Amino acid sequence: MAAMGALPLGAARTGTAATGSWPSEPIRIVVPFGPGGSTDAVARLAAPGLQQRLGVPIIIENRSGAAGSIGTDAAAKARPDGHTWLLTFDSHALMPILVPNLSFDLEKDLVPVTQIGRAPYVTACQPAKPYRSMTDIFNAARRGGVSFGSTGNGTIGHLVMLMMAQRMGVELTHLPYRSGGLAVNDAVAGHVDLMIGSAALLAPHVSAGTLRPLMQLGSSRLPALTTVPTAMESGFPELTAEAWWGVFGPAGIPAPIVARFQAALIEAYREPRIAQQFQELNQAELVLGDAPALASFVQSQIRIWGGVARAHNVRPD
């Protein structure tokens, strides 16, 4: 598997697989972000269950950079034989805005499979920092430089911080990272003043006491963060922001293969142990809807967040 993981996408392809013989080789799930982040973790969570159900090795391939467009491009241009898929994050819907000269079309070159789940964004800092609330952050920003880390330019977390800073009349220094793991490492070490990431990414560190949560951006408080106010409770009426994860494949995959892979994915995430870890440990909600629902959801995300990205002239990392 290690040797095969080093091959370029499509190197071992010999032609479009017949539906009846699929899968006939290891399946690659491209994650367009670095290892250690929530997207990587979500992919690896289902890999054993997928392998058990499909009978072939599942290889998670991290290809980070340019707001996820590098890995997405590789997946979109892979052979449509059902052996390469894309598992991506919320910045996916904003790539046409972030990267105007994309070499692929989100709608024409990718087919939706399923939205795996979603989780509210959370802001947090190292416990040694003097901040106890977002009010403290904004007050500090008025006195001098305050930095925040995110999982990349164009993620919903990044856009939310821009919106809040503008509303409060302050400037915050943004430090984008290529993966959530790298961002969290620097937040835990105190190299950034503040971190914004999905609850799935930050909840384990909050539970371990290595990060102090300041605000959550769901519509209500999470069970594991009952003492942490929502954005609406913190003076930002109607402001909610959720990270999400979805699976796509290169256009042209036979519909029966898409349906079988979708079914295997849903079964893998619905395993009691996996579902419990996703929902309780990561404070995330499983969605596992059908392909049309994911396509419609992506369009709604473009409408909601596209204007924010344009207004702030956000560009890829």
Are 225 and 280 in the same domain?
no
Residue 214 inside a domain? The answer is yes
Are 76 and 149 in the same domain?
no
Please state, in angstroms and as integers, the Cα–Cα distance from residue 172 to each residue in 56, 166, 262, following that order. Answer: 47, 9, 41
- pLDDT tens column, 26-53: 999 999 998 988 999 999 999 999 999 9
- pLDDT at position 315: 76
Are 220 and 259 in the same domain?
no
Residue 6 inside a domain? The answer is no
Q: Kind and range of the H or E element at 98?
A: helix 95-98
Residue 21 inside a domain? The answer is no
Are 108 and 168 in the same domain?
no
Are 124 and 224 in the same domain?
yes
Are 226 and 127 in the same domain?
yes
Are 34 and 175 in the same domain?
no
- pLDDT at position 282: 84
Residue 89 inside a domain? The answer is yes
- pLDDT at position 36: 86
Domain C-terminal end among 190, 214, 234: 234
Ramachandran sector of residue 280 (left: φ over 0; alpha: ψ -120 to 50; beta: rest) = alpha
- pLDDT tens column, 128-143: 999 999 999 999 999 9
Residue 3 inside a domain? The answer is no
Domain C-terminal end among 217, 234, 251: 234
Residue 45 inside a domain? The answer is yes
3-class SS of residue 176: strand
pLDDT beyond 90 at 314: no
**Residues 233, 19: Cα–Cα separation, whole Å:** 52
**Stretch 140-163: mean pLDDT, rounded?**
92
Are 248 and 113 in the same domain?
yes
Are 55 and 134 in the same domain?
no
Residue 271 inside a domain? The answer is yes
In angstroms, the first-to-last Cα distance of the chain is: 31
Number of domains in the chain: 2
Domain that holds residue 190: 120-234
Are 218 and 274 in the same domain?
no
Give the pLDDT band (50/70/90) at residue 5: very low
Domain C-terminal end among 214, 234, 254: 234
Residue 10 inside a domain? The answer is no
pTM of this structure: 0.86
Are 247 and 285 in the same domain?
yes
**Residues 46, 38: Cα–Cα separation, whole Å:** 13
Are 230 and 285 in the same domain?
no
Copy the structure tokens of residue 55: 């009978």
